[in-house]
Structure 1
């Protein structure tokens, strides 16, 4: 049994060696054949390859002419700057003035006409119009004295048109005698209205009765 196993192992080794050798032979043949084909291909390519010569280099263009450098202009020293003080005129503010309104002078009303009105004035002293002869005899006997106040109505002709006792002397006879004599004897400068026309008037006065001393 051991012999049979040993014999079988020897055959496996030989078989493996043969297979390996076969593979090595096939690999070598493949490699050498492939190399031959490559060399053949390269040789064929080398036979048909044309090497072109490089064109000659182009001539370089001539350099541009040098630029003419203009000399800088001479430096001119600027004149000194004189600071001139600017005098500004004072600002004139125009104030609008209100228009002058010339009011018309008020027209003075016409002067009123000069009034010519005057009151009636007595002609002479009425106290002298009556004398002792005018004294009522009964009043003399009774020593009746007194002052009579009166008002006379004066007409446009200056004559008395009426008499009224405004203050009694205390003696009716003396009062009545006063109005009677004044109405007959008294005369007036006529009174006038504003237009200068003669007008009626009123005059107030007094008359004193006094018994003369012997």
Structure 2
């Protein structure tokens, strides 16, 4: 039996024709269905791991400038060895106040008292008695007492008195009168000072007039001690005022 065996060239031509026919049929189907063929295939979606959100950057920190002191600058201290002081501070010593001892009263002559001198006179002097001669403590002739052995002389009024015309001629003393008690000082020269009313007559004009006239008019022989020396003394006096309408009164 005889058969036909095609060669290689014929087989290639047949395969190419079949391929062209299949491509034409496929293209016709695509055009009929309206399917658009993309010109390029998109890149595949990439897969990656998302990490945690990074922390925000730290805020800006502004460092203030050091404030300048208004106090005056101090000078550097003198040099010393390199060291550190201990934490124990030496307490300040407590110095007790110095109390001076009581004064010791010294005297030239021994005696039983506590004064620096010995005497019996109302005025200072170099002796130890009331005045005179000798080395005793009094003013007599003998003995060891501190008496003067004599008498003193009180003050005596030499001049000065009240008169009827001394009664104040004023409306404030009409019908007034009475006794004014006063106390005053007789100085060593016999003058009167420091007059003070100790008993009022009830009328201020009469009281003031009494002291004014006494200091103006009265003069005394001063108090004399046993040695005859004048000393200051105090005198108490009562002056009676009688109204001019009554009988006249003698001044004391």
Note whether the superposition's TM-score is higher than 0.5: no
Query: Per residue, is there more helix in 1 or in 2?
Result: 1
Task: Give TM class, smaller chain.
Answer: 0.3 to 0.5
TM-score, scaled to structure 1: 0.43
- Bigger Rg, structure 1 or 2: 1
Compare relative contact order (CA 8 Å, sep 6+) and give the higher one, 1 or 2. Answer: 1
TM-score, scaled to structure 2: 0.37
